[in-house]
Structure 1
């Protein structure tokens, strides 16, 4: 009754992309299902030993950190009401790396808190969820459940954010998803706009932010194909200054037996290539791409990933190479080993600002 709602949640899509078909069965524990009303819980827990060689500062650092996906617990609700199914999801994402900075405090953020209405017409989502622009770029990343490139000192790693795709920042939105049509899935949404002229509430946003995504899945001669195109548009003003922000993301994945090959990319103007927010930007360009190959054999999966981003707006050029090994101990327990090489250069001066080699050894538990 509420499978459609749960299937579209960000965490479950992420797990399904990284774990394969078995993820859907293990993505939630049903606690109640009576008289057309259901309630379930899903969780994601991980930790990595991380050893990083900083070649710019000639230092080596050892940490115990969480991976690209933070530790998460989510609650799913559903109720059948005549021809409609009402649903909802709230998920809480937490850092495990903030205690040394703030004692026993733990940073918890809410990336999903929304209601859904499903019917023959499709689905309407109302609340806070991941954006549509760059959504499949990140959720179909082969190292989503790994570590990837360096991130913030007290938070998650960045995976391939800023080295292949931007982050689909969770935002307040009203999004419509049409029923599946011969393999096509279409979503369009109005989202809370960002203040991109001065980065303050003084900016004027006469219209919301618009985002959309079209995905297509089919099988040709035993090759499973998945393709997608997504985009974003908004305009902000302040006096005589205007910033028009546009972005287009795209990608294609092909899988045959245990081999998966994928490529994705994006191009944007006046749009932050890391994550959108209430920050003043210019109408400069940014673009990036990500190419990946993965091979699964038995309970194991090998991944090779390479991504780049070239950003005029932030004046950087990055490249990130990741070798990953994933081993399923069982359907709910995964071991991960990664080696990442990440480099960032100042686009104006050509100076190398980051040159880091990272070894990450971790474990992931899901329910």
Structure 2
């Protein structure tokens, strides 16, 4: 009799324990209670009490009964509430940067040049080409459509002057503050067979793959203003490609067609730097891309287009159309990869869109550039090197000997994957600027630091 009671108590504990596991074990628990009753281990009263308690637990926890409430995202940190997915991702970086600037002088002045000129070495602890970022993506499916809201905040670690916004010139003085660049605010909706529409502020199409494929995206590249650093360095911006920027847009992207995709959109027209304009038509950008894999060989190809009219706000102001094209290819074979990129344009400028793109009368300046990059992975170590140039031509009839002719740089990098999140980075960068006349300047930079992604 005592043994029967012991078995009964143990069985009751087992049944109760299983009942607390959740809805996935509901059928198993109910069946176990029935078998324990049939074998005489549970009395009818005990069976009814446990069954009632089990039913009350299931009723009190409908979320647990229907499945997990919080689920780990594939990347980053995320969870699911009903049919809504929330994903949070982010990055933080910091680098010690030593920049050896060229000595100042009459022959060192290059308007638009990116090499440092100052005569003294400078040291800083700063962000690299990327500031930090914190992104929120909220997605779900409604009425057969995949819809999403996307927000991206990009804070820096360096104090800024705020004279030009969150990424203005640095202000390394006591009681200064850093900036937060809210680069991304956009919505998406799409479905299989239709593609996707994006409305809001996000990275552009023209030149986007150039910067996203640039190895200096994880580091510093050309330091730019190292004595008073802002929230970003230059990387290879203006030294092989024009910065795509984050722009207000309405874009459409086709479904994936065996690796091929087409994107096109209208964009907020950007004014020529230093000019007031009343542009009556939007900018237009488009891109075609392909990604494929054959055995150990991976291939990525892309080609882009940008065009925009510039209308003067006052008589005699710039009145011209800027047009640019770019192409790129990245091929990987095992642990090795090779990338090549080229752009050309009329009236699109250099370094940033529509910077130095025309003279004061609106006469267009042609520009072009390229960069090549190779990398090799050895276990957790990645070795990479790149070289690039950006060229700017004088407008027709223009005489301007100090205006930029070429910005170019060599970059050598070493990356070590300390953990899945943390990468240690070391870089050496040589930057050279050459004017239309004899002026030129050269600077050398060393950067050591780390970047984290989650």
TM-score bucket (shorter structure): 0.7 to 0.9
Specify which of 218, 221, 230 is matched with residue 148 of structure 1.
221
Separation in 1, partners of 2:189, 2:275: 34
Counterpart in 2 of 1:225?
299
Relative to structure 1, the CA distance from residue 207 to residue 278 in structure 2 (aligned partners, 3 Å threshold; closer, same or farther) is farther
* Shift of residue 278, structure 1, vs aligned partner: 8.5
Counterpart in 2 of 1:334?
423
* Shift of residue 154, structure 1, vs aligned partner: 2.5
RMSD: 1.9
Residue 195 of structure 2 corresponds to residue 118 of structure 1 = no
Counterpart in 2 of 1:53?
100
Residue 290 of structure 2 corresponds to residue 216 of structure 1 = yes
Counterpart in 1 of 2:399?
none
Q: 1:297-347, CA deviations, whole angstroms, 9 ceiling, x for partnerless residues?
A: 10110001101111126633111001100000111011000001011121x
TM-score, normalised via structure 2 length: 0.71
Counterpart in 2 of 1:351?
439
Separation in 2, partners of 1:304, 1:278: 28
Specify which of 284, 297, 313 is matched with residue 365 of structure 2.
284
Specify which of 108, 121, 137 is matched with residue 210 of structure 2.
137
Any unmatched runs of 5+ in structure 2? 1-72, 104-117, 160-170, 395-402
Q: How does 1:1-367 map to 2 (within 5 A)?
A: 25-26=74-75, 28-30=76-78, 32-56=79-103, 57-98=118-159, 100-101=172-173, 103-120=175-192, 121-152=194-225, 153-155=228-230, 156-196=232-272, 199-200=275-276, 203-220=277-294, 222-238=296-312, 239=315, 241-276=318-353, 281-282=358-359, 283-312=364-393, 315-346=404-435, 348-352=436-440, 354-367=441-454
* Shift of residue 364, structure 1, vs aligned partner: 1.0
8 Å Cα contact 2:410-2:431 kept in structure 1: yes
Relative to structure 1, the CA distance from residue 256 to residue 269 in structure 2 (aligned partners, 3 Å threshold; closer, same or farther) is same
Relative to structure 1, the CA distance from residue 326 to residue 25 in structure 2 (aligned partners, 3 Å threshold; closer, same or farther) is farther
Any unmatched runs of 5+ in structure 1? 1-23
* Shift of residue 273, structure 1, vs aligned partner: 1.7
* Shift of residue 173, structure 1, vs aligned partner: 0.4
Higher-strand-fraction structure: 1
Separation in 2, partners of 1:326, 1:303: 8
SS across alignment from 1:330: coil
TM-score, normalised via structure 1 length: 0.87
* Shift of residue 265, structure 1, vs aligned partner: 1.2
* Shift of residue 237, structure 1, vs aligned partner: 1.7
8 Å Cα contact 2:347-2:357 kept in structure 1: no
* Shift of residue 243, structure 1, vs aligned partner: 1.4
SS across alignment from 2:368: strand
Separation in 2, partners of 1:364, 1:41: 17
Separation in 2, partners of 1:278, 1:306: 22
SS across alignment from 1:103: coil
8 Å Cα contact 1:94-1:109 kept in structure 2: yes
Separation in 2, partners of 1:132, 1:280: 19
Separation in 1, partners of 2:342, 2:300: 14
* Shift of residue 67, structure 1, vs aligned partner: 0.8
Q: Which has the larger radius of gyration?
A: 2
Separation in 2, partners of 1:54, 1:197: 26
Separation in 1, partners of 2:390, 2:355: 22
Separation in 1, partners of 2:98, 2:278: 46
Counterpart in 2 of 1:8?
none
8 Å Cα contact 2:273-2:354 kept in structure 1: no
* Shift of residue 106, structure 1, vs aligned partner: 1.9
SS across alignment from 2:209: helix
Separation in 1, partners of 2:74, 2:327: 28
The worse-fitting range, judged by mean Cα deviation, of 53-62 and 223-232 is 53-62
Aligned length: 338
